[in-house]
A = this chain, B = another copy of it.
Amino acid sequence: MIQERLSKLRAAMRNAEIDCYIIPTSDYHNSEYVSEYFMVRKYFSGFTGSAGTLAVLQDKAALFTDGRYFIQAAKELEGSGITLMKMGEPGVPALSEYVEQELKEGQNLGFDGRVITAGEGLAYEKIAEKKKGRVIWNQDLAEGIWEERPELAFTPVFVLEECCSGESTESKLKRLREKMKEEKAQIHILTTLDDIAWLFNLRADDVESCPVLLSYAVITREEAYLFAGESAFDEKVRAYLGANNITLKPYDDFYTYVAETVKKEPELKLLVCEKRINYRLKKEIGDSVQVIDKANPTTLMKAVKNAVEQENLRKAHLMDGIAVTKFMFWLKKNVGKIPMTEISAAEYLESLRAQNPSFIELSFPTICAYGANGAIIHYSATPENFSEIQAKGMLMVDSGGHYYEGSTDITRTFILGEITEEMKQHFTLTARAMLRLKSAKFLEGCKGINLDILARGVFWEKGLDYKHGTGHGVGYLLNVHEGPNSFRHKPLAGSDENWAFEEGMVTTDEPGIYIEGSHGVRIENELLCRKDENNEFGQFMCFEDLTYVPIDLDGIDASAMEESEKRTLNLYHKFVFEKLAPFFEGEELDFLKKATREII
């Protein structure tokens, strides 16, 4: 089947004069998750993983994916004739090296410019130039081949009322236009779905785990245009747009509109974040207008949660904390007594969240990893591949929900029975790391790079480390991974480090330790940045816990903790008990009392 699809693709490539066709895993907006419509790589390769790029030539094809998917991809690519390229393994070329190596003089490189970032596209241009060929970027070759391709999902759009958003679109547009004025820009283009949803206070369900709408936006000093699936807007939402002077236009008209606008007004100054846009938009903008390439002002604005959002987040996390703590009670009570798998446990947890009417959907696919699976950082149980949960070892659960009052992200590792001394020490280290970071008090101006060591240093002292950031920003009923705030000891390549912690930013605090083949521990709270005292030394900042779920004391070796860490843990548990107790009774309340007891 795959071979047949590829042979049709190759015919289309010949037709289009494309000698090497690149199919990444992306939508037109560089979203972290993509909807079915965009799963072209899966269609042509059979590989179902969430990350990977397919490069197709007339006589060969190669799929590039990372370590998480080596085994799965090898299995799924069997018989397809596609070579698996294990990224990062010795001797394996990078995708760009492979393309350069395979493309012959005079041959052309092709891709749908909408699913390739501007930066990637420019790199491909250079390769094509070297080969004296062209880059052909204006066609999606899946069209006409993939017959049962799902429709682009334009789910019903709803307005996030001011009781949830805390700021009107009018006010947000005003602030954005002030920034545009500062930058001397007449026009601003947004293609990132969370920025658009935040700015217009709109939400939908067009992308898995992200309550956003497929859309583009163009904002001028007076006008605002929203390019989206018109069918998804009912009268009420249309009236709301009208009242806010936002003109709705068809999703597909966006590129033509941009091309015409820049043609009509070549003296325009355009504010756009080139790192965030796709290659096609970059080409449509062209070279005639003056581009002010800066981070989207909305990115920082939405990272700073307003007072209403902060208050709502406390509510969302309370609902979430009740669900996760009841899950903890259920898990520890029933493990070894009733059948339980990674999948059934995750489903049970989801059902507890879903009991709350404010719950919309999971904020990302739950990672429910038992035993050695906990060591796989991006583990995902599937119906074909999952573990039974037994009354020993540890279960790591990283999950979250979207509520009308905001989004949550929490990880707890639960002790299900006997654990080794090493596991207990690793659990204790992880708890210490999480606690130390969340207790930070620091001067205004600090970034994640200043604070990361408070968590990570606990592991470094023991010659250990975790190969991920200590924490990321979280959107408000938006993407669970949101910039610019994060805790990292090295900036991510290409990230904008021109920020500092501000009151209202929400960041996860999630150190962990992963021992291949044995176990993994991660403990994650969300932290709301707050102003602390202001004195002659300056404005101090601190964090407020947004997550209210006990840390499993069965994993703690109190003798391996500093006094200050024990104080922090006890205070946290006292706080969790006070928050949750009103919602617990009977044996659940007894459990909560025990789970939040003071340790010495």
Q: Once the chains are docked, how many angstroms separate the CA of A9 from the CA of B93?
A: 69
Q: Determine how close the nearest CB of chain B comes to the CB of A430; give it in whole angstroms.
A: 15
CB-CB < 8 A to A193: which residues of B? none
In the complex formed, the residue of B with least CB distance to A462 is B441
What string of 1s and 0s marks CB contacts (under 8 Å) between A431-474 and chain B? 00000000011110110011111100100110111000000000
* Cα of A392 to Cα of B441 in the assembled complex, Å: 33
Expressed in whole angstroms, the Cα–Cα distance for A598 and B461 within the complex equals 23
A337 at the interface (CB under 8 A from B): no
A537 to B442, CA, bound (A): 29
Within 8 A of B (CB), among A87-118: none
Say yes or no: is A351 at the interface (Cβ < 8 Å to chain B).
no
**Docked-complex contact A442 and B463, CB < 8 angstroms:** no
Taking a contact as CB atoms under 8 Å apart, the answer to whether B457 and A440 are in contact is yes
Complex CA–CA separation, A443 to B537 (angstroms): 31
Q: How far is the CA of A543 from the CA of B376 in the complex (A)?
A: 33
Q: Which one of B441, B442, B460, B533 contacts A441 once the chains associate, using CB atoms below 8 Å?
A: B460
> Could you give, for residues 543-578 of chain A, a 1 whenever the CB lies within 8 Å of some chain B CB and a 0 otherwise?
000000000000000000011100000000000000
Per-residue interface assignment for chain A, residues 53 to 82, with 1 indicating a CB less than 8 Å from any chain B CB and 0 otherwise: 000000000000000000000000000000
Contact of A453 among B454, B533, B535, B537 (CB under 8 A): B454
With a cutoff of 8 Å between Cβ atoms, the chain B residues found around residue A451 in the complex are 453
Interface membership of A275, Cβ < 8 A: no
- Chain A interface, number of residues (Cβ within 8 angstroms): 29
Q: How far is the CA of A443 from the CA of B443 in the complex (A)?
A: 25
A540 at the interface (CB under 8 A from B): yes
Roughly how many angstroms separate A457 CA and B461 CA in the complex, as a whole number?
17
Encode contact with B along A495-534: 1 for CB under 8 Å, 0 otherwise.
Answer: 0000000000000000000000000000000000000110
Complex formed: what's the CA distance from A454 to B458 in Å? 11
Chain B residues within 8 Å of A537, by CB: 463-465
- A538 contacts which chain B residues (CB < 8 A)? 465
Q: Is the CB of B454 within 8 A of A457?
A: yes
CA distance A395 to B537 in the complex (A): 23
Report the Cα distance A537→B514, complex, angstroms: 11
Tell me if A490 counts as interface (CB < 8 A to partner B).
yes
Q: If the complex has contacts A440-B457, A463-B540, A465-B537, are A450 and B489 also in contact, measured as CB distance less than 8 A?
A: yes
| Cross-chain contact A535 with B463 (CB below 8 angstroms) | yes
- Interface CB pairs A-B, < 8 A, 22: A440-B453, A440-B457, A441-B461, A441-B463, A442-B457, A442-B460, A443-B489, A446-B453, A449-B449, A449-B450, A450-B453, A451-B453, A453-B453, A453-B454, A463-B533, A463-B535, A463-B537, A463-B540, A465-B538, A562-B563, A562-B564, A563-B563
